[in-house]
Amino acid sequence: MAREYLKKAHLTSTSDASDVRDIVTKILADIEAGGDKAALEYAAKFDNYDGNIILTPAEIAAASDQVPEKLKADIQFAQDNVRRFAEAQKATVSDVELEIVPGLIAGQKAIPVDTAGCYAPGGRYSHIASAIMTVTTAKVAGCNHIIAASPPRPGVGINPAIVYAAHISGADTILAMGGVQAIAAMTFGLFGLPSANILVGPGNQFVAEAKRTLFGRVGIDMIAGPTDSLILADKTADPFIVATDLVSQAEHGYNSPVWLVTDDRALAEKVMELVPGLIADLPQVNSENAAAAWRDYAEVIVCADRAEMAACSDEYAPEHLTVQAEDLDWWLNRLSCYGSLFLGEETTVSYGDKASGTNHVLPTSGAASYTGGLSVHKYMKIVTWQRATREGSKRVGQATARISRLEGMEGHARAADVRLAKYFPGENFDLSANG
């Protein structure tokens, strides 16, 4: 049975990148040339904010005091989960030392980057969880300086809950600035801050384009597009929960794809029947986003069996992948392309987005076919080292000289020759390419 599309997307999750690229390129160039003054001018224009750019300890404390105690407890709960998961991830990376051959020792060291720039969106939605996800992992990784940036609101500043979350997660500096100007400020080391070695965190298309443009000059977590989610469901799934989960992810934005892949046509039809009502029941701005995403980007696909469902999912390589089907271990062992996997009805993407401990900064637009999401490892450089005794360099020196000459790299060969001549005078080595 060929895959049957009960609903097919007629748009893809791409924007007019050329217009965005031109705007971002100009802003970055202006700020690099104009420094703090230019960044402040763009902040006044786009953020409509004239308060302190770098929050003082008193301002952080005042913002924290505005956060209700129950919400503080929830933020602490989420931050603790993210921290403990990040610590477990870090434990999987260790320094290594190996004697390759007698007298030649090579090793690996994991070194955290010095400065991390962490962006937490604060426009249409205030992404409290993004501050937790990005700052906490940088702290666990061991970065020396962590900058958290988030867009301030006119006359208000950064959402107090974002300030509190960034602070308890370990931010050394909180920057009241959003958009391209925030990315530029962290990259170029404005306002007396150290220049960021890596930029992480979600953002709108302008933030994403700024990170893409600066990549190479600075590290980034990934080049992100609109968030996307796929649900694999069989006849045992609850259509109401499946529909609710699809709508919950469609509310991210008008161009956020959601996909349902199933081998049960009746389930697919019931979900399609339920979705419009669930969208209509959302608050207006959420409903508008979800309605557009469902109308233009969503797909519902009926497959012959679970093997075809899994193959379909791997082809899409979704950012978020949910399985609501029998035999969860089979799916865990079979599936290979996803940013984060949610197994069973008892968990949901929303848990991962907010509080369960795994990171919500994940690959989009099919990038899960070759990379995972944000983790402590993104903030760490895995570097190598080596040392040798004179005897240990004997065999490797000969091999290096001959391979180098075969490649035509005589200078490389001579770096080996001089050591062999010094350490083993009188020995006759055949170091020609044909030796």
Q: Do the Cβ atoms of 139 and 172 come closer than 8 Å?
A: no
Mean pLDDT of 92-98: 95
As a whole number of angstroms, the distance between CA 364 and CA 361 comes to 9
- pLDDT at residue 18 is higher than 90: no
Percent of the chain with pLDDT over 90: 92
- pLDDT at residue 1 is higher than 70: no
pLDDT in tens, 250-281: 999 999 999 999 999 999 999 999 999 999 99
pTM assigned to the model: 0.93
- Residue whose C-alpha is closest to residue 201's, from 188, 189, 217, 219: 219
Mean pLDDT of 170-199: 98
Mean pLDDT of 214-228: 94
pLDDT in tens, 120-162: 998 777 789 999 999 999 999 999 999 999 999 988 899 999 9
What is the CATH superfamily name and number for domain 226-372?
Nitrogenase molybdenum iron protein domain (3.40.50.1980)
pLDDT of residue 17: 59
pLDDT of residue 194: 98
Mean pLDDT of 196-210: 95
Percent of the chain with pLDDT over 70: 98
Longest Cα separation, the chain:
88
Residue 15 pLDDT grade (very low, low, confident, very high; cuts 50, 70, 90): very low
pLDDT of residue 50: 85
Residue 352 tokens read as 């991962």
Residue 435 pLDDT grade (very low, low, confident, very high; cuts 50, 70, 90): low
Residue 23 tokens read as 């705007």
Residue 434 pLDDT grade (very low, low, confident, very high; cuts 50, 70, 90): confident
As a whole number of angstroms, the distance between CA 45 and CA 40 comes to 9
CATH of 18-91+107-221 given 3.20.20.60, 1.10.10.10, 3.40.50.300, 3.40.50.1980: 3.40.50.1980
Which residues are known catalytic residues? 319-320
- pLDDT at residue 56 is higher than 90: yes
Instruction: Annotate the chain with three-state secondary structure.
Output: CCCEEEECCCCCCCCCHHHHHHHHHHHHHHHHHHHHHHHHHHHHHHHCCCCCCECCHHHHHHHHHCCCHHHHHHHHHHHHHHHHHHHHHHCCCCCEEEEEECCEEEEEEEEECCEEEEECCCCCCCCHHHHHHHHHHHHHHCCCEEEEEECCECCCECCHHHHHHHHHHCCCEEEECCHHHHHHHHHHCCCCCCCCCEEECCCCHHHHHHHHHHECCEEECCCCCCCCEEEEECCCCCHHHHHHHHHHHHCCCCCCCEEEEECCHHHHHHHHHHHHHHHHCCCHHHHHHHHHHHHHCCEEEECCCHHHHHHHHHHHCCCEEEEECCCHHHHHHHCCCCCEEEECCCCCHHHHHHCCCCCCCCCCCCHHHCCCCCCHHHHEEEEEEEEECCCHHHHHHHHHHHHHHHHCCHHHHHHHHHHHHHHCCCCCCCCCCCC
- pLDDT at residue 113 is higher than 60: yes
Higher pLDDT, 124 or 399: 399
As a whole number of angstroms, the distance between CA 235 and CA 252 comes to 28
B/e letters for 419-434, b = 16+ CB within 10 Å, e = fewer, are bbeeeeeeeebebeee
As a whole number of angstroms, the distance between CA 17 and CA 74 comes to 38
pLDDT of residue 224: 87
